[in-house]
Structure 1
């Protein structure tokens, strides 16, 4: 059955997009009965709009879990890409819909789709939106902690730049490289710009280099305003080197990397020491 193209309809806050089919519209609006009827009438679940958006993209972008399942059961391509290279999993991670993310992964969505100059990874999207539960889930499914985006850098850069402390904690505990750089800019530079003392302290405790210089030859402290808590915090670290215990802990985490949690929790040592080593 050939589905007639529907009139344009409003999508989010960006105005009218290119025309969508009735399948796109039903998926976007969560009209389960209508979508089921269209599918049963022979409508294609993989039909694309001019920007390569599929009905599955629409459903995932709105967290319409029932529609997502219905489309997948009807044969929707789980890793379809739109004109920007984003997959439905990227869309679901962006809005932080845990059930939708879980469902797409269950149906085989790639947690590490190939990145392009216009694409961020699902993990980047989850960090950008501050969706810590989704961050945990995609990491558990093998998401690359060091996936690199040309504009944003690593997921840790994204989490710090957007002031999402809980996402930063999840990434650090998973073994992300705390001093990864984008144009010599580290996550600590972002934390300093955000004036987030909690984030600065967390990053430094995991080994962030307070002396790292970006492409402008500026240290993190150079991005703080005088007499602010973040400035005082970084100045204190500069005047008081880390203790031998802290350095040993950082070295252990660096050597073990992503295996740190698994290895340390199996050691026959008191829980308080395990907690200290992992800083969870």
Structure 2
């Protein structure tokens, strides 16, 4: 079989510049037999296209688990970055390919790669795509709940902005800071803009500040549409003090932080209270 070659212009320690090769194409389309033949014929698994995309990026963005494994077994660099700084793990998280995410992690992919001005973390990507199972997996492997992206804020901001309620629940239960701000904008601002009452109630239950003001001096309630359930909900929260039960829950969870999911079930409390504290 004829193998594509590239002009020998060396690019760092990852490979050579080239147009999109047959290896890239086979990985993207999930053509495992073709990919295996190319590898056995000596094709480089780390060759990069002009946008710095490797075959592993191509396989990961399409959830081609078999091709991902073939590439990794052949020596593909698991944390290679494309022109935007995204790793294959970012790509797999973005489409919610649980198997690919799991496989990349098994091969040592960094859960918290260094962020740049153009890069989001794998956890951000999972939240952006609404992939709650991938969010759970990333958190279980040590993903930073407060990883900060200049354009999007924290993973919680991303999940709320994209109205992915299940991801919001996972993040909050894991100990994400509910009042973390980007340009003074909190997750509750995002939920209010979306007029998502269920998300608003959830955030407030976890201690979201209904009086927080963003860079425009606006509270979350200022972004709801008038006369909507979300508007009435935030007006009620603003005018009614939280109950002692709610305050106790918020204080306990704030004190425990990311340890709450493990610590609360060990407390000598009735199951209904534990479920309430953990918002199960």
Q: Which residue of 1 aligns with 2:256?
A: 256
**Contact persistence 1:183–1:214 (CA under 8 A):** yes
Q: Secondary structure at the match of 2:109?
A: coil
Does 1:198 find its partner at 2:192? no
Q: Which residue of 1 aligns with 2:86?
A: 86
Q: Which residue of 2 aligns with 1:274?
A: 274
CA deviation vs aligned residue, 1:133-158 (integer Å, no higher than 9, x gap) = 00000000000000000000000000
> How many angstroms does 1:19 deviate by?
3.1
Quote the Cα distance in structure 2 between the aligned partners of 1:95 and 1:256.
32
Q: Secondary structure at the match of 2:48?
A: coil
**Contact persistence 2:3–2:41 (CA under 8 A):** no
Alignment of 1:96-107 (within 5 A): 96-107=96-107
Q: Which residue of 2 aligns with 1:10?
A: none
Q: Which residue of 1 aligns with 2:9?
A: none
> How many angstroms does 1:256 deviate by?
0.3
Quote the Cα distance in structure 2 between the aligned partners of 1:219 and 1:270.
37
> How many angstroms does 1:2 deviate by?
8.3
Q: Which residue of 2 aligns with 1:69?
A: 69
Q: Which residue of 1 aligns with 2:239?
A: 239
- Structure 2 portions without partners, runs of 5+: 7-17
Does 1:218 find its partner at 2:218? yes
Aligned residues: 269
TM-score when normalising by structure 2: 0.94
Quote the Cα distance in structure 2 between the aligned partners of 1:2 and 1:255.
62
Q: Secondary structure at the match of 1:83?
A: coil
Quote the Cα distance in structure 1 between the aligned partners of 2:112 and 2:254.
23
Measured on the aligned residues, the alpha-carbon RMSD in Å equals 1.3
Quote the Cα distance in structure 2 between the aligned partners of 1:2 and 1:215.
59
- Structure 1 portions without partners, runs of 5+: 7-17
Quote the Cα distance in structure 1 between the aligned partners of 2:202 and 2:46.
45
